[in-house]
Structure 1
Amino acid sequence: MFDKIELSVSSYDTAWVAMVPSPDLPHAPLFPGCLKWLLDNQLNDGSWGLLHRDPSLTKDALSSTLASILALKRWGVGEGQVKKGLHFIESNFRSINDEKQHSPIGFDIIFPGMVEYARDMDLVLPLTSRKTVHFSTHHLPSWAALIHLQDANCLNYLQMLLKKYEDGVPTIYPLDVYTRLQMVENLQKMGIDRQWLQGDEEIILDLTACALAFQLLRTSGYDVSSDVLTRFVEKDQYLDSLKGQYKDDTTAVLELFKASQLVIYPNESALEEQNAWSRQFLQQKLSGGSIKDGNLRKQVINALTFPYHASLDRIVNKAYLREYKEDDVKVAKTSYCCPNISNKDFRNLGVIDFNICQSLHQEEIKQLERWKREFRLDRLKFARKEVVTCALSATAMLFTPKLSDARISWIKHAVITYVVDDFFYVGSSQQEQENLIHLLDKWDIDEDTEYCSEAVEIIFLVLRDTIYETADMALKRQGRCWMDVLKTMGKEAEWGRDKVVPTMDEYMENGFDSFALGPIVLPTLYLVGPKLSEEIVASPEYHGLYKLMSTCGRLLNDIQTYEREAKEGKLNAVPLHITHHGGIITEEDSIKRTEGNHWRK
């Protein structure tokens, strides 16, 4: 399917090609095969256009039907088809003024022009519009260029198309690069892109294709420059690129908006500017009701509501499979479809794969519930044992069958994090906390090892066993991660006991470790891909990325949980902001400051 790109034949474009006269015999068509195609492809209701079209595409059907009638009338053939076509137009002409109908691009200019052309042929139409069409030589279709300019390249191009599509003409050609990119994106959104190898492809200077290619490459880990998009830094630059074209801009701006969210370098202010104007552009399109395509409208709403950094792969996959529209029709100057982009085979494969993965995830949860009982975690009545919640966080990103070990490691460490968090805040004394930290620091145990409570014994043994499961190289560093977590949680418990109110700097310096992503993420990294060297894991870059990730997690967590944690007496960035400002700022203002990381300012 990646090798051969298929496009639907456009009766509208085929009709205009059929009207091209022979240079040698002006009273005969240059492409008689197109006339035959029109005669053979009229629909039962008398119209021309896509089979099984949506009722909202009646304007498109009127446009295609009138163009086909003009072609047949010009060469004096298909009298019966012409009558049926005129009857269809008469029965549906009220749709011309229906604002709920999809309007092909340029319809309000081109259709009245065709009506004038029909009157010149003595065709009586039940329409009253007297508008005329003015063609510009800036962006002529190939058939028009051939008629007016006698362009040999246009002739060769049309002959190639007619041979490829058996005397029919698609509305857009070629579309290979964009189609392949769209196919990859569809597979990615369904979670089955791993089934295909992605090869190199030259990207044409088309905004939609460039923005889509940029997204796919950057989200797949390629070091791709954003310079290809800098020519559209400002809205006016983009609008200038559309001059002289009948072109819908919503899809292009949507792809640019999504691409502009992928800022990873400090010198990419151009992407931030693009994000600002493209967001405003899409919001205006929505509020103005100008996006008639329901599927596109939903895509725009989702993109504006759920930015890239707040999207989880498996949730995106499930939503996309549910909303996927088979045989989706696009509308340019006429309607068209591309089976490579929208087809039931992709969706069926996506559903099968999703169900296979889901079944595996459910088996893993059963395995983890047994693990929880084996290590007596269910005996800790004070603690949350959130196996399913932790499984959701893991499978949202690490969902493929080959990542089962990484997923289980993530879930186990996350469950233990819940247990340890509750142990320090509600389930232990200072003596028990110090005993657990001492045991982890000592590490080795024997028959003389003393546990000051059953809870300490349960937590230490499950911690020790889970750490041992990971490769030897990670053993020491995992132990250190857990030691950092225990010590920082101990510090927060100490602040609580002593009624200490830390500064924001003190809270955040302690809080990024106490958030406990370290012991969850590190062992998972050893299990998801290329082997990690000690040099990489010990590098300042790794530590910096870990600190940024943990800081973001801490702040996002505090924004979501500040009301509950305030009732439980836990420290939280939101009420801390209010306290350090003497209580004069509101909760809403404190949340905004937390979101903006203003505690550093």
Structure 2
Amino acid sequence: MELCTQTVVADGVKITRRSGNHHPTVWGDHFLAYADLLVANKEEEKQHEDLKEEVRKMLVMAPSKSLQKLDLINTSQRLGVAYHFEREIEESLSYMYTHYEEWISEVDGSDLHAIALCFRLLRQQGYYISCDAFRKFTDDQGNFKKELVNDLHGMLSLYEAVQYRVHGEEILDEALNFTTTQLKLFLPKLNNSQLAQQVSNALKFPIKDGMVRVETRKYISFYQENHESCNQVLLNFAKLDFSILQRLHKKELCDITRWSKELEMVNALPYVRDRLVELYFWSLGVYFEPQYSVARKILTRISYFLSIIDDTYDFFGTLDELTLLTEAIERWSVDSSEELPLYMKTIYCGLLDVYNEIEKELANENKSFLVNYSIIEIKKVVRAYFEEAKWYHEKKVPTMEQYIKNGIASSGYLLLATISWLGMGKQATKDAFDWIATEPPILVASCMIARLTNDLLSHEDEQKRGDAPSAIECYMNEYNVTKEEAHMKIRDMIENYWKVLNEEYLKLTGVTPRGLLMTIINLIRVVEFLYKDEDAYTFSKNNLKGVISMILVDQ
């Protein structure tokens, strides 16, 4: 990214400011056009309800310990309609978990797809089962049998299953290497077919990492092309459900766009990234279901301010100004804005206003007090941003230990995870907020995945711009290694944190509501998606625009 600087004179003192020279929003007022959009008419609602009941009957009627039942659950999840059948799916998988050993002994021992699918679905649901069932697919030397390469369906299922591995499961580490290598070798033989696209997408975005709404939209296309196994009732229901939800999401984005225009932040702060639609898309990655409409709007609004604050600390504010802003946010009162420069006063007062708005919205449920948890977290983020600003201005490269400790908060994910629970209703209790405030291991792991994944993709642009050092620079400096070696180390760290996250999720299921845990995981899926090939949030006019169109514009 090209670095721009501007020099201004204030009170006789020259101040040189950096600016990221970010491209303007690619959406403009597009979503304001959806104010009067009808989410669904009566005929559509009836058709939706009828199809839903047909799918429910299929799920209930399928034999309890059958591949048919597992395939139905998997397909409903991947088509994005499983949220309608949570109770039925939980009962089915609970039964399968209880009878797993019995089922394994009954199922065809050579059916890699069936065993891998069952393993993945149970671990996804939070049930720990042993990986020993995969030993039957290895030879005397412990290597996976060569004949498995002829079973593409089974290989793909195994590849997806092993993404849920935890520490100490060497057989699954080996299975990942084996399936990844073989699927890449198989890809050219598929001649750019629909199956080739599916395999290619899995290699880039396995189910564990995939941003749910994006993967749903892709899978609808894959599924309808698969004429042999396509269940037309399920497909029709998925398409109709997607369309109805898309119209709801458009209306929400219309409301959010109107809110941001009334704020006029972008005009007052031309140096910031104007990415409101992208931030709503981020929230949609956390939860897309209709009951989380309020939660999405809350998460988008606070994320909007977090992005502005991030840009201010990253390159625009001077160290003296950032000191004042940090102190003002610590005090958290309107009076604290008096000493701030005008542009910072705009940010600070806007931030306090949006928090006050959210408190009023939650007052109806007697939950306005929960906002205090996120105020504590935003103070942590700002402290971490200020620490990074000091590193930049003092030309200091911290140790990896210092960077990691600060990175937990600077990732923004302590804050985003806490905010994401506001507006989630009864499951987000005071006890749940007390728990997340302790920074549990699952949350710390997600923070570090977010921090390090961001660093891998954006550090070169940040260095050109002259930002504070990232994990890459810290590791290179401390251990005197090349950039390539630092990249390898950071990737290993990310993989390790994923294993921690998988382990903690399995431990917490049954203790913490699954819906709350899924917001933490889905936040990470958004990061995996946005920082896979480039910093898609910053450079949203490139590939991200087309993806957002596919989810929020195209029918």
TM-score range normalised by the length of the shorter chain: 0.5 to 0.7
Structure 2 residue aligned with 1:311, among 210, 233, 241? 210
Conserved? CA contact 1:410–1:524, under 8 Å: yes
Q: How many residues end up aligned between the 2 structures?
A: 413
Matching residue within 215, 228, 232 for 1:344? 232
CA distance in 1 between partners of 2:296 and 2:57 (Å): 37
Deviations 1:238-265 (A, max 9, x none): 988999xxx97332232122111112x4
Paired residue for 1:302?
201
Corresponding residue for 1:407? 296
Give the whole-Å Cα distance in 1 for the aligned partners of 2:408 and 2:57.
Answer: 51
Q: RCO higher in 1 or 2 (8 Å CA, sep ≥ 6)?
A: 2
Give the corresponding residue for 1:377.
265
In our comparison, the structure showing a higher alpha carbon Rg is 1
Contact 2:137 2:144 in 1 (8 A): no
* CA deviation string 1:167-215 (max 9, x = no partner): xxxxxx9998222222222221111112233242555524422321222
* Cα separation, 2, equivalents of 1:543 and 1:412: 25
- How is 1:546-561 mapped onto 2 (pairs within 5 angstroms)? 546-561=443-458
AA paired with 1:251? H
TM norm structure 2: 0.66
Corresponding position of 1:575: 473
1-structure distance, mates of 2:152, 2:240: 32
**2:488 matched to 1:592?**
yes
Q: Please, which of 395, 404, 415 is the counterpart of residue 284 of structure 2?
A: 395
Aligned to 1:114: none
The 2-side partners of 1:239 and 1:491 are apart by 48
Q: Which amino acid aligns with 2:245?
A: C
1:210–1:228: 8 Å Cα contact kept in structure 2? Answer: no
Measure how far apart 1:348 and its partner are: 2.4
AA aligned opposite 2:221: R
User: In the alignment, which residue of structure 2 is the partner of 1:274?
Assistant: 175
TM-score by length of 1: 0.61
> Match for residue 506 of structure 1?
402
| Alpha-carbon separation, structure 2, partners of 1:479 and 1:282 | 47
Deviations 1:418-453 (A, max 9, x none): 10011113332334323322322222335x862422
Is 1:440–1:479's contact at 8 Å kept on the other side of the alignment? no
| Residue of 188, 192, 200 corresponding to 2:81 | 192
2:128 to 224, 231, 239: 224
TM-superposed CA distance for 1:481, in Å, is 0.6
Tell me the residue number matched to 1:465.
353
Q: Does 1:422 align with 2:311?
A: yes
Distance (Å, rounded) in 1 between the aligned partners of 2:429 and 2:58? 43
RMSD over aligned Cα, in angstroms?
3.5
How far apart, CA to CA, are the structure 2 residues paired with 1:561 and 1:520?
20
Counterpart CA distance in 2 for 1:530 and 1:216 is 26
Task: Assess if the C-alpha contact under 8 Å between 1:192 and 1:353 holds in 2.
Answer: yes
Helix, strand or coil: the match of 2:230? coil
Query: Larger helix proportion, structure 1 or 2?
Result: 2
The one-letter code matched in structure 1 to 2:249 is H
Post-superposition CA distance 1:261-312 (Å, at most 9, x none): 112x43433322332333344445446x3x6994444433332332344311
Match of 1:215 in 2: 120
Measured at CA, do residues 538 and 328 of structure 1 come closer, stay the same or move farther in structure 2, by a change above 3 Å? same
**What is the CA distance between 1:366 and its match in structure 2?**
2.1
Question: Which letter does structure 2 place at the counterpart of 1:217?
Answer: L
After superposition, residues 224-303 of structure 1 pair within 5 angstroms as: 224-227=128-131, 229-232=133-136, 234=138, 249-263=151-165, 265-286=166-187, 289=189, 294-303=193-202
Task: Name structure 2 gaps, 5 residues minimum.
Answer: 1-53, 97-102, 360-366, 497-555
SS in 1 for 2:427: coil
Query: Cα gap change, 1:250/1:474 in structure 2, threshold over 3 Å: closer, same or farther?
Result: same
Q: 1:279 to 1:377 in 2, by over 3 A?
A: same
Question: Contact (CA 8 Å) 2:55, 2:234: kept in 1 or not?
Answer: no
* Gapped regions of structure 1 (runs ≥ 5): 7-172, 330-340
Q: Does residue 360 of structure 1 match 2:258?
A: no
1:564 pairs with 441, 461, 467, which one?
461
Please tell me whether residue 205 in structure 1 is matched to residue 101 in structure 2.
no
2: CA distance, partners of 1:443 / 1:566: 33
What SS does structure 2 have at the residue aligned with 1:325?
helix
- 1:318, distance to aligned residue in structure 2 (A): 0.9
Cα distance change on mapping 1:327 and 1:476 into 2, 3 Å: closer
User: In 2 relative to 1, CA 437–239 (structure 1 residues): closer, same or farther, beyond 3 Å?
Assistant: closer
CA contact (8 A) 1:233 1:271 kept: no
Say if 1:233 and 1:451 are closer, same or farther in 2 by CA, change over 3 A: farther
1:181 maps onto 2:80 in alignment:
no
Contact 1:326/1:343 (<8 A) preserved: no
Residues 314, 564 of structure 1: alpha-carbon distance in 2 compared, 3 angstrom cutoff: same
Hey, what's the Cα distance between the residues in 2 that align with 1:317 and 1:489? 35
- SS of 1:416's equivalent? helix
Counterpart secondary structure, 2:164? coil
Name the amino acid aligned to 2:405: E
Q: Counterparts of 1:393 and 1:426 in 2: how far apart (Å)?
A: 23
Q: Cα deviation per residue 1:42-62 (whole Å; 9 max; x = unaligned)? A: xxxxxxxxxxxxxxxxxxxxx
- Map 1:133-172 onto structure 2 (within 5 A): none
For residues 543-601 of structure 1, the C-alpha deviation after alignment (integer angstroms, 9 at most, x for no partner) is: 3222211111111101111121012111222233333455x62x333322222239x9x
Instruction: Indicate how the Cα distance of structure 1 residues 542 and 228 shifts in structure 2: closer, same or farther if over 3 A, else same.
Output: farther
Of 365, 369, 372, which aligns to 1:476? 372
Change (3 A) 1:328 1:292: farther
Q: Is the 8 A contact 2:329 2:379 kept in 1?
A: yes
Match of residue 522, structure 1, among 418, 422, 431: 418
